[in-house]
Structure 1
């Protein structure tokens, strides 16, 4: 994933909150949407952007799709920021 796509995804406070929710457990889109005062379509768009950036993964189980945090991309961003700070 490109760093630009990842940083753009992280720039939105709603997407950062979604990542915080996924920090402790995987959740369905419905469970995620219960935490926001926005439409399900808006939550789906945020999830799509996070998935495109590689920040989350999804798994289909029956009629549900569960989302979970992909920490490897976050680790790459943190490493880049650490290296930037050290220079």
Structure 2
């Protein structure tokens, strides 16, 4: 999972809201678009960014594409952030002259 792509995807409030909605249940692109005051094409672009970042996965159901959270990616993201925070703690400790 490219961490920069994930942070870029999460930087947009609309994409964060899409993730919140998908946390409640799987949804089609049309259902997601109906929850926003945005054009379906704009929501489709947001969904593409989230999919490319690995935050959502898709599954075809008849003629619809159903979006759902990629929970494995969310766990990986949390672990990556925790590693970054741990590195930050080590840097701060070395600046203070203490050792980990």
Query: Hey, which bits of structure 1, 4+ residues long, moved more than 6 A?
Result: none
Provide structure 2 residue ranges, at least 5 long, that are not aligned to the other structure: 88-100
After TM superposition, list the pairs within 5 Å mapping 1:29-68 onto structure 2: 29-68=29-68
CA RMSD of aligned residues (A): 1.0
* Number of residue pairs aligned between Structure 1 and Structure 2: 87
Q: What's the offset of the Cα at 1:84? A: 2.3
TM-score scaled by length of structure 1:
0.93
Point out which structure has higher relative CO (alpha carbons under 8 A, 6+ apart): 1
TM-score scaled by length of structure 2:
0.82
User: Radius of gyration: which is bigger?
Assistant: 2
Provide structure 1 residue ranges, at least 5 long, that are not aligned to the other structure: none
